[in-house]
Amino acid sequence: MAFLNILRYPDPRLHKVAKPVTAFDARLEQLAADMAETMYEAPGIGLAATQVDVHERVIVIDITETKDDLTVFVNPEIVWASEEKQVYDEGCLSVPGIYDGVERPARVKVRAQDVKGQPFERECDGLLAVCIQHEMDHLMGKVFVEYLSPLKRNRIKNKLLKEERAQDKSAQRRAAGGR
């Protein structure tokens, strides 16, 4: 297994729309395993392939405290969403350290395939409903901060770009022998 590099907002690759998976093979199984390992190490509760610069419709989710209930959703689609909405403070591995309220349907039914291509449906509520909708947004090229006001979004973008520049300078100093 391998840890994958998680793209950080505002990387433009996060806005690519993922293509459906057509080959259910060892490569897909390895991608799902690598994504799961990356998500657990981050640590997170969900990861979309888009976030690791693979633009295919694959999501891994495990919302348990014990990290022992991994679900892989391949080609997921929401087939039903409740009219009832809920606001949940969301965070994202691609937007580290930022959390804000996003309103979404409180319950959804998702149809997907597993890594072998077998179809399944899952009814989701609470944190799982939030997580699956959040990750499916990634597959459509949307990051949760896009639900926020333009002012908040710009502040977040500027903060993350500033952090990235500081990290780059620090890495350059280390590479130059600590000068």
d(CA 139, CA 49): 7
Per the annotation, does 138 bind a ligand?
yes
Strands (DSSP E) found in the chain: 46-48, 58-61, 71-81, 85-92, 95-105, 107-113, 119-125
Per the annotation, does 92 bind a ligand?
yes
Per the annotation, does 55 bind a ligand?
no
Q: What is the CA radius of gyration of the chain?
A: 17
Whether 135 is a known active-site residue: answer yes
Question: Closest Cα partner for 131 from 175, 83, 69?
Answer: 69
Please tell me which residue in 83, 103, 121, 135 is annotated as part of the active site.
135
Going 92 to 48 to 142 to 165, the CA torsion angle's sign is positive
Active-site positions read: 135
| Binding-site residue set | 92, 134, 138
Residues annotated as binding site for Fe cation?
92, 134, 138
